[in-house]
């Protein structure tokens, strides 16, 4: 009696990111984790920003939560700003993701006149006594054979023919 061929089953692909469906659970909407969510309020942006304002980057993303200074404002469908963080890094940010910070307090920074540099006095250094510099004598250098000009020997130079090609043999030698 002939046996039936079994149906082949393969393991799930390593790139499969969809979760396995539970039987009887019904159709669930699945949102991939890599899909970006669109904020419809970003098109309105926030008004009142100016170049040089101190802001904090909110939301998710690069440098989130860091304080920064606005270097350039851009208009368009989604208003944005180029900001430089206190660490010196720059990033383009939507204005809806910026929160205003109070200006830097001038009292926390001491004026330059109030800061006095520390004076360090070093003892004078005396040169060592009776030290003679070493004399280095180099042997004379002879020019290399490649650097010497070569003189052509009489009768060794070959005349150049006008046409390149096979050498012509006189008819008498043939």
Confidence of residue 144 (pLDDT cuts 50, 70, 90): low
Domain contains 3: no
Percent of the chain with pLDDT over 70: 56
Is the dihedral angle over the CA atoms 57, 62, 68, 71 positive or is it negative?
negative
Number of H helices, E strands in the chain: 0, 5
Domain contains 19: no
Note down the domain range covering 97: 42-102
pLDDT number for residue 169: 63
pTM: 0.42
CATH number at residue 96: 2.30.30.60
pLDDT at 77 over 80: yes
Write out the two tokens for 85: 């963080």
pLDDT at 85 over 70: yes
Confidence of residue 97 (pLDDT cuts 50, 70, 90): very high
Angular region, 2: left φ>0, alpha ψ -120 to 50, beta rest: beta
Which residues have CB under 8 Å from 73's CB, separation 6+? 49, 50, 51, 79, 80, 81, 82, 95
Domain tally for the chain? 1
């Amino acid at each position: 009696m002939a046996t039936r061929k079994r149906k082949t089953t393969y393991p799930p692909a390593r790139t499969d990111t969809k979760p396995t469906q539970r039987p009887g659970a019904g159709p669930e909407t699945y949102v991939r984790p890599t899909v970006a969510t669109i904020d419809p309020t970003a098109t309105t942006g926030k008004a009142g920003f100016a170049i040089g304002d101190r802001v904090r980057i909110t939301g998710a993303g690069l440098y989130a939560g860091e304080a920064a200074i606005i270097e350039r404002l851009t208009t368009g469908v989604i208003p944005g700003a180029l900001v430089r963080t206190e660490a010196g890094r720059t990033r383009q940010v939507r204005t809806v993701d910026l929160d205003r910070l109070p200006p830097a307090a001038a009292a926390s920074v001491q004026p330059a006149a109030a800061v006095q540099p520390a004076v360090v006095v070093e003892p004078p250094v005396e040169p060592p006594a009776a030290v003679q510099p070493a004399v280095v004598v180099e042997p004379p250098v002879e020019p290399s054979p490649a650097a010497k000009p070569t003189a052509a020997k009489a009768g060794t130079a070959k005349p150049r023919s006008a046409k390149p090609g096979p050498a012509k043999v006189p008819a008498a030698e043939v």
